[in-house]
Structure 1
Amino acid sequence: MADYSNLTVGFIGAGKMATAMATGFFNAGLFKPSRMFASCPSEWDSSELQNMGVQVFEANLDVTERSDVIILAVKPDTVAPVLREVSQSLSKKQPLIISIAAGITIAALEKAHSGRYVRVMPNTPAVNPGYGASVFCPDFKCSPDDAKLVERMFSCLGFCSPIPEYLMDAVTGLSGSGPAYVFTVIEALSDGGVKMGLPRDLSTKLAAQTVLGAAKMVVESGQHPAVLRDNVASAGGTTIHGLHALEQGGIRNALITAVEAATKRSIEMGQSSQKK
């Protein structure tokens, strides 16, 4: 396995995803904290990164000038201005640039600054190493070694797979936004338990553990979710009655529509960024 310990990695932005990534890279022994840098406004709380040993700067240029790999961990509408701001520094150092901004295409990134880009869509469960889901898409300027590095980096956080760029918006709508859908499901299950007399704390723990356990069964068994569902739903039992109620409430339609809506919004954001 290639040794990446001598690489320097810089995060433009020091929010939850940057912190999750840095933590995952450190816990996997991929990068030393002393070789990771981050930038964020002084009024933001970057104590978690600093406590890890990551050096945090207020200026983006302080990060780009020190880094072999740059991770753009800022809001989508901030990406182009940031790239233009540090363009001269990037041209000089020519780092690999990873963007995790939803909807921002490689073409839009290239328009802001001509560089070597990889688009990545991780998700927030990556704050717990091993539970994240990420996909990535390198541009034509990237070498096979660049792609291997990115796959190694994001595999530290959980599932990771290369995809063609045209699928990136659909991934954003599913796994990028998906944790919020699941949190809503957990909250609703907990509400159901409370309605039927369970204490709130117990109800929420049961709901969350049930979702976690069911997801693990899907991942580890390799079986279709419908097969696993049918194994629980015995004839005339409680589960089939509950499933009937879910169908009457349109849960499948609601979740499918949610993924569709988030995907369309990601496309809109990408189209808007290319007009700027």
Structure 2
Amino acid sequence: MTIKFGLIGGGVMGEALLSRLIASGIYQSSEVIVSEPLPSRLDFLKQQYDVTVTTDNSQVFTQAKEVVFLAVKPQVFSALAQEVAHINIQNQELANINLLNREHSPVIISILAGVPLSQLEAAFVQLPVIRAMPNTPATVGAGITAICLGAYTSPKHHQIAQQVFSAVGEVVEVSEGLMDAVTGLSGSGPAYVALLVEALADGGVAAGLPRTIANQLALQTVLGTAKLLESTKLHPAELKDRVTSPGGTTIAGIAKLEQAGFRSALIEAVKAATERSQELGK
């Protein structure tokens, strides 16, 4: 069977995507090739998902007909680009011959944080490139991914990227200028939410609850509230007002949060993470 999907980097995020793509039937195991430098990791992926494996990144570029997915550390991108440079020259020559060749060439999808489209397109000249920023809930199929399209992508490539990332959650499209803000909000956001859950549980313990019960109450409260907001489409402020009775317990708690600058702290956290992402991109 034809190899359609090529994955370079079999780490946590790469495996999360791989497992969902195969489980949902978007790609069959026989249609996937994975490149990974660690032999133990390569053996695991082979046994777990029955995919073709290799330590040669060039094989992924030459065999994958639909997607080449880059899930390596940003620090190794330059070495990767040099390793496959000869293949990129061949692909560029084909693309120059006829635009139809570019239309049918594999789309290169990168989740390398801080590596802009300009750098990707300099490495993969005149080839369709899409930059993406998923987040860690993708590992359980509940993530959200922001994508931005390169200059040589077509509606077909866009559709492929939508289908790939829909396997691990929701997908939004943004301009590249907003990718740092995406990183600051949804990319770093799971850590903020984890901190919130931990703090809620600590508050419960401080109020006398056993740790295990406090943890369970905190986690389910956050999870349930998110599901409620999603299903009802209520504005968060409206849900807050519905829970807040005059002179009641909730308004007493909210007053303390406002006094402590809770909302301002979250806003500043997103802004700080966005600025750090911009610095790393330089």
1:207-218 equivalences in 2 (<5 Å)? 207-218=218-229
Deviation of the 1:214 alpha carbon: 0.9
Q: Which amino acid aligns with 2:136?
A: T
| Matching of residue 82 in structure 1 with residue 94 in structure 2 | no
| Matching of residue 105 in structure 1 with residue 116 in structure 2 | yes
Deviation of the 1:139 alpha carbon: 0.9
Q: Which residue does 2:150 correspond to in 1?
A: 139
Q: Which residue does 1:72 correspond to in 2?
A: 70
Q: Which amino acid aligns with 2:70?
A: L
SS of match in other structure, 1:65: helix
Q: Deviations over 1:61-88 (max 9, x none)?
A: 2322221211111122222321222122
Name the stretch that deviates more: 158-167 or 45-54.
45-54
Q: Which amino acid aligns with 1:266?
A: S
1:139-218 equivalences in 2 (<5 Å)? 139-218=150-229
Structure 2 gap segments, 5+ residues each: 92-104
Q: Deviations over 1:17-48 (max 9, x none)?
A: 10111112112210012222222222663565
How far apart, in 1, do the equivalents of 2:89 and 2:18 lie? 25
Q: TM-score, normalised by structure 2?
A: 0.88
| Matching of residue 236 in structure 1 with residue 233 in structure 2 | no
Return the index of the structure with the highest Cα Rg.
2
Q: Which residue does 1:95 correspond to in 2?
A: 106
Q: TM-score, normalised by structure 1?
A: 0.90
CA root-mean-square deviation: 1.9
Q: Which amino acid aligns with 1:83?
A: A
SS of match in other structure, 1:61: helix
Provide runs of 4+ in structure 1 moved above 6 Å.
none
Structure 1 gap segments, 5+ residues each: 272-276
| Matching of residue 30 in structure 1 with residue 22 in structure 2 | no
Match of 1:221 among 232, 249, 268: 232
Alignment check: 8 A CA contact 1:7 1:31 kept: no
Alignment check: 8 A CA contact 2:138 2:168 kept: yes
Name the stretch that deviates more: 160-169 or 74-83.
74-83
Percent identity, aligned pairs only, is 43
Count of aligned residue pairs for this structure pair: 266
CA 1:242/1:96 → structure 2, altered by over 3 Å: closer, same or farther? same
SS of match in other structure, 2:63: coil
How far apart, in 2, do the equivalents of 1:220 and 1:80 lie? 44
Alignment check: 8 A CA contact 1:19 1:48 kept: no
